[in-house]
Structure 1
Amino acid sequence: MRLTRVLHRQAGLERAVVEGVRLDDDTDGEVLVISARPRKGAARRCGRCRARAPWYDRGWGRRRWRHLDFGTLRVVIEAAVPRVDCAEHGPTVIAVPWARHGARFTTAFEDTAAWLAARTSASAVTGLLRIAWRSVVAIVGRVVDAAAAGADRLAGLKRIGIDEVAYRKGQRYLTLVVDHDTGRLVWAADGRDKATVAAFFDELGAQRAAALTHVSADAAAWIGDVVAERAPQAVRCLDPYHLVAWVTDALDEVRRAVWNTARGGKGGRTEASKTLKDARWALWKNPPNLTDKQKATLATIQATNRPLYRAYLLKEQFREIIAVKGADGRLLLQAWLRWASRSKLAPFVKLAKTIRRHLPAIHNMLDSGLSNARIEANNVHLRVLTRQAYGYHSAKALITMANLRRGGLCPPLPGRLS
């Protein structure tokens, strides 16, 4: 096989002509320079829309694009960059088949960098590919924008989950929308209010909003009111994760009240109060996950503190309702509400009233089995992203990375199918 054919394949220049190859020296060492030009059929096209256009100027200024390394040798592609007069975009640098418009890296290089960024930290990508951290951020943005432009991510939505996640101190939140059928993040925006949810439905459009069958979310009015207005036919399902959190909070209120009573006022400390303070995780954890010490703590509470143990049993019974679901779940929930209302535990009496207000959405959840588990998984992933990057200065940067990792916009490695 001739060297030029090897270079065509290695550099992704199937639609280009290799004019020459040479070794240059620069401040970082030797670099392999491949001089190329687009083939006749791919020449004289607008770099933005790829439409054919007449020449605007034929100045033969040259530009370089960084390509994937050839072993340990850095590789660049060099070509002339005349401009065409596009009917839509005006004077624009011609399109080249090996790179995206406005990039200083080849498409293969950028796809590789984005694939790596989806699986490791940006600092690791900078060390492996020998580029700046800001270059990684810019590359990810271009790759995500190119992938999003070529696909309608809101097409075919039937069952969605809506939730918010904090990404920065100072009550800074993102609103996320996940497709339950694919598990993918399909939409994200900065903010946590009715206007943000309305912006999603504006982008979705009335016709596609009418095709929604189920929407899962927490009990927040800023979500529920907009969903009721823009997609009234959709079955609203209250997320069981948040329901269990309500019950757990009520249990902890009872524990704190009992603990304050046991210690005899502020600053007091007794053996009983110490046991109750240390019992938090024993009360919260699922029974199969309890340690021997935590099982002993629960046994002590059962024998010495009936109100707190009653609160614990209410929590466990509610978890069973979520696990059972369906018609049996409805019956269990009805019995649980009667028990909580007569429990003489103020937090649970109050919680029973709250649950009754949201009973239709809870019944829908029990009937459909729909939860925000997929969107909670996305939330956890976004928190990991934030910690890995030591925070993001803007919501846009985090949304871009979230779309790359969780939105199905990560490109395959060059030469691979997936």
Structure 2
Amino acid sequence: MRDTTLLLQTIIALQDTIVTAVKFDEQGVIADVRPSWRVPRCGDCQRKCPAYDARQRSWRHLDLGGMVCRIRYSIRRVSCPKCGVKVEAVPWAASGSRFTWPFELHTTYLAQQNDKTTVTKVMRIGWVTVGKIIQHVVAEQLGGVDRLDNLRLIGIDEISYRRRHEYITVVVDHERGVVVWAAKGKSADTLKPFFEALGPERLAKLESVTIDMSAAYIKAVTEAAPDATIIFDRFHVQKLANEAVDAVRRDEVREAEPEDKKALKTPGGRCSRTLGI
């Protein structure tokens, strides 16, 4: 049995966690564990505190060999002189979470690469749970850092969902290559909370804003940051130029003599859509 627990401890690979027993049930694997430290710690401030009761709890871990794996432990309540009565901290999961850190991080990674339905099937959890895990991991990874600090060169664009019936406005920091703000909608009013959150001091530091020629975005930027340079992104500028060239070319084709029409068309018979800028 000891060999089995040592093997599972190696496979599970949870830091500061000792596997004390292993069993199997109809759902999969259950690993009884405990923290490597003996004295419990407050789940909020991590201070060592006395414990006075315990209750068994389980956490979902990454699957093992296609079987659901759960971590089980009798978690204690502690009396913290600073925070009061709290549940103790455990090294394998965040306070209040029913999933281990590796499970949450893997779920979040999959959500970056796939749609939520695929993630629910792979991880065998509900789509609401996927969303909660993402929110928790993002908040934890940010660690209280204000993403709106030190913005100079930003980009604003919208993405659609629900078959283009709904939109989300996204603001990115071009220098860091990260999303710094997002909100539902694509109007000038959608962007107002972003500029209000920046405040006058940080707004004054904005040097340029890249947008997609949206009248709503132009209005929002010029009102909030009049000194920032508005830059229309290359994709939309080139798209409009190509459409204008195509429109002129089609008019020319309609009015041209039969012998000239061939020269105005591509070998495939359709108007050219290529314009180098």
TM-score (norm 2): 0.76
1:138 maps to 132
Are the counterparts in 2 of residues 34 and 75 from structure 1 also a CA contact under 8 Å?
no
Contact kept in structure 2, 1:53 and 1:85, CA below 8 Å? no
After superposition, the Cα gap between the structure-2 partners of 1:72 and 1:231, relative to the gap in structure 1 and judged at 3 Å, is same
Tell me, what secondary structure is at the counterpart of 2:99?
coil
Please state if 1:50 is matched with 2:59: no
Alpha-carbon distance in structure 2 between the residues aligned to 1:95 and 1:157: 36
- 1:157 and 1:211 in contact (8 A); partners too: yes
Pick the aligned partner of 1:93 from 87, 105, 110: 87
Q: Secondary structure at the match of 1:225?
A: helix
Which whole-Å deviations, capped at 9, do the CAs of 1:347-373 have from their partners, x for residues lacking one? Answer: xxxxxxxxxxxxxxxxxxxxxxxxxxx
Q: Is the 8 A contact 2:35 2:91 kept in 1?
A: no
Answer yes or no: is the 8 Å Cα contact 1:38–1:96 preserved in 2. Answer: no
Picking from 209, 213, 219, the partner of 1:215 is 209
Residue in structure 2 matching 1:110, options 104, 113, 132: 104
CA contact 2:195–2:224 (8 Å) conserved in 1: yes
2:170 equivalent to 1:173: no
2-side partners of 1:256 and 1:237: how far apart? 30
- Alignment-derived partner of residue 23 in structure 1: 23
Alignment partner of 1:82: what SS?
strand
Q: Which has the higher contact order (CA 8 A, sep 6+)?
A: 1
Query: Residue 140 of structure 1: SS of its match in structure 2?
Result: helix
CA distance in 2: counterparts of 1:160 and 1:200, whole angstroms = 12
Aligned pair count reads 272
Residue 91 of structure 1, CA deviation: 4.5
- Provide closer, same or farther for how the CA distance between residues 196 and 90 of structure 1 changes in structure 2, counting only shifts above 3 A: farther
State the partner residue of 1:34.
Answer: 32
2:12 corresponds to: 11
Change (3 A) 1:91 1:204: farther
Q: Distance in 1 between matches of 2:122 and 2:221?
A: 46
Q: Which has the higher strand share?
A: 2
Shift of 1:168: 3.5
2:35 equivalent to 1:60? no
Cα distance change on mapping 1:129 and 1:233 into 2, 3 Å: same
Deviation at 1:106, TM superposition (A): 0.5
Counterpart residue type for residue 97 of structure 1: P
- The aligned runs of 1:268-347 (5 Å cut-off) are 292-294=267-269, 319-320=275-276, 323=277
Percent identity, aligned pairs only?
34
Q: 1:232 aligns with which of 221, 226, 235?
A: 226
Q: Secondary structure at the match of 2:217?
A: helix
1:25–1:87 Cα change, 3 Å: same
Larger Rg: 1
Higher helix share: 1
1:184 Cα offset (Å): 2.7
TM-score normalised by length of structure 1:
0.54
Superposed displacement of residue 170, structure 1: 7.8
CA distance in structure 1 between the aligned counterparts of 2:66 and 2:212, rounded to whole angstroms: 52
Deviations 1:193-252 (A, max 9, x none): 223212112223333322221112234443233323433332222334333444455556
Structure 2 counterpart of 1:201, which letter? Answer: F
Write the distance in 1 (CA, Å) between the matches of 2:81 and 2:71: 28
1:371-410 alignment, distance < 5 Å: none
* Code of the aligned partner of 2:47: R
Give yes or no for contact 2:45–2:83 (8 Å, CA) kept in 1: no
TM-fit CA distance, 1:21: 0.5
Structure 2 gaps, min length 5: none
Structure 1 residue 61: deviation in Å? 1.2
Tell me, yes or no, if the aligned pair for 2:80 and 2:86 is still in contact at 8 Å. yes
Please state whether the residue corresponding to 2:25 is helix, strand or coil.
Answer: strand
Deviation at 1:38, TM superposition (A): 5.8
